[in-house]
């Protein structure tokens, strides 16, 4: 209930009688409910979850203690009629124009609807030790299964799609809920596309293989990228040079991470290294992003981050510089780390040195 209490305090500061939380992932974070229909209403001294009969048993099993459950075929209408009179907040980034019209219609003059932004997301940004442990396990499962899957590779025969499918299947068998996003298994020139899709084409011998994958475990995501050389011939010298530079860039960024730091600094550190090798122009995205219940969430680690965006203990972020030479190959190396009170705890243990498969 700590998370709910923090929001209840904020209600007072914002002079709101209640907050309606309708975004499902935020409901899960606050209440534990993992179903796909319902809404959570917070007043300064109560938390009530509304859902319909399909979810009665699930809600009873999952809802945290202290949250009241109301089951009604017309859950939204019921929740609206229970609302106190006065100013009520809603999640303005997660409600459609139509829904807003509808809730206004059903509350008439009784409720003044006040848009709120990021109230729950602001809490989600800092993970607690239990969340770190869950994400560490999501990463551990991923590394274990990726190791197995890479062992299946037969150059010239195995397709990108084969590896993507095997990864998903084996993750589920190993105890994960599945992948946290469609795996990116990209060989040859396809690796130069930062968000490539895995194709049903064989991975040829003597080429680059970029693998960006994640597992979902108890709702939480992991995220990692490694770039390999597929043998039997030794790695191409240009590729080797780019790989070493990206690795150095990642190292520089990782070393700079510390609580209190401006969120744009680590990206600047990575860029300095790439610039020295005339590779900065081929680095076409920011350094990293927050991870949690969603694969991409706040904060962003980018030179475009503003002065008020700083790193704080408890944040889980990726560090993933990349260089993409169109028509040739791409290199990206991505780790996922927790910011602690004193520095960082890297959740990724998979080797970063260039590996030949």
Query: Residue numbers of the site for Zn ion (CB under 5 A)?
Result: 212, 223, 225, 318, 334
Q: Per residue, what are the HEC states of 228-263?
A: EEECCCCCCHHHHHHHHHHHHHHHHHHHHCCCCCEC
Cβ closest to Zn ion, residue 137 vs residue 223 = 223
What is the smallest separation between the CB atom of 90 and Zn ion, expressed in angstroms?
A: 30
Cβ closest to Zn ion, residue 95 vs residue 193 = 193
**Distance separating alpha carbons of residues 1 and 262, to the nearest angstrom:** 31
What is the smallest separation between the CB atom of 22 and Zn ion, expressed in angstroms?
A: 27
Cβ closest to Zn ion, residue 20 vs residue 316 = 316
What is the smallest separation between the CB atom of 117 and Zn ion, expressed in angstroms?
A: 24
**Distance separating alpha carbons of residues 172 and 187, to the nearest angstrom:** 25
Q: At 333, list the tokens.
A: 């190396």
Cβ closest to Zn ion, residue 188 vs residue 290 = 290
130 contacts: CB under 8 Å, gap ≥ 6: none
**Distance separating alpha carbons of residues 30 and 40, to the nearest angstrom:** 9
Question: Could you tell me how far CA 193 lies from the centroid of its own chain?
Answer: 20
The residue count of the chain comes to 357
Cβ closest to Zn ion, residue 198 vs residue 225 = 225
Cβ closest to Zn ion, residue 42 vs residue 317 = 317
What is the smallest separation between the CB atom of 212 and Zn ion, expressed in angstroms?
A: 4
Cβ closest to Zn ion, residue 8 vs residue 191 = 191
The alpha-carbon radius of gyration of the chain (Å, integer) is: 23
Tell me whether the omega of the peptide bond preceding residue 147 falls within 30 degrees of 0, making it cis. no
Give the DSSP letter string of 98-140.
HHHHHHHHHHTTTEEEEEE-SHHHHHHTSPPHHHHHHHHHHHH
What is the smallest separation between the CB atom of 326 and Zn ion, expressed in angstroms?
A: 20
What is the smallest separation between the CB atom of 320 and Zn ion, expressed in angstroms?
A: 5
What is the smallest separation between the CB atom of 314 and Zn ion, expressed in angstroms?
A: 19
User: Tokens 């680059």 appear where?
Assistant: 208
């Amino acid at each position: 209930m700590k998370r709910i209490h923090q929001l209840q305090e904020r209600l007072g500061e914002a002079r709101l009688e209640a907050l309606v939380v309708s975004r499902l992932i935020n409901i899960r974070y606050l209440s534990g409910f993992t179903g796909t229909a319902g809404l959570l209403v917070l007043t300064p001294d109560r938390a009530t979850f509304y859902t319909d009969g399909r979810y009665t048993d699930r809600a009873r099993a999952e809802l945290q203690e202290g949250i009241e459950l109301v089951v009604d075929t017309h859950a939204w209408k019921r929740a609206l009629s229970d609302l106190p009179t006065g100013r009520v907040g809603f999640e303005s980034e997660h409600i459609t124009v139509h829904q807003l019209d509808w809730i206004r219609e059903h509350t008439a003059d009784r409720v003044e609807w006040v848009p709120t932004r990021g109230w729950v997301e602001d809490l989600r940004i800092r993970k607690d030790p239990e969340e770190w442990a869950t994400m560490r396990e999501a990463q551990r499962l991923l590394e274990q299964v990726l190791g197995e899957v890479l062992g299946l590779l037969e150059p010239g025969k195995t397709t990108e799609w084969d590896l993507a499918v095997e990864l998903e299947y084996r993750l589920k068998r190993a105890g994960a809920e599945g992948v946290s996003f469609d795996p990116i298994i990209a060989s040859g020139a396809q690796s130069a596309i930062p968000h490539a899709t895995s194709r049903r084409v064989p991975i040829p011998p003597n080429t680059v293989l970029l693998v960006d994958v994640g597992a979902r475990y108890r709702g939480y995501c992991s995220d990692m990228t490694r770039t390999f050389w597929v043998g039997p011939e030794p790695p191409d010298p240009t590729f080797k040079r780019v790989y070493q530079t990206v690795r150095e860039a990642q190292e520089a960024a990782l070393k700079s991470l510390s609580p209190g730091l401006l969120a744009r600094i680590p990206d600047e550190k990575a860029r300095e290294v790439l610039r020295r090798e005339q590779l900065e122009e081929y680095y076409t995205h920011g350094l990293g992003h927050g991870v949690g219940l969603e694969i991409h969430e706040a904060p962003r680690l980018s030179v475009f981050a503003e002065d008020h965006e700083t790193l704080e203990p408890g944040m889980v972020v990726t560090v993933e510089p990349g260089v993409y030479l169109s028509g040739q190959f791409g290199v990206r190396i991505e780790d996922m780390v927790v910011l602690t009170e004193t520095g960082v705890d890297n959740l990724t243990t998979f080797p970063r040195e260039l590996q030949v498969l």
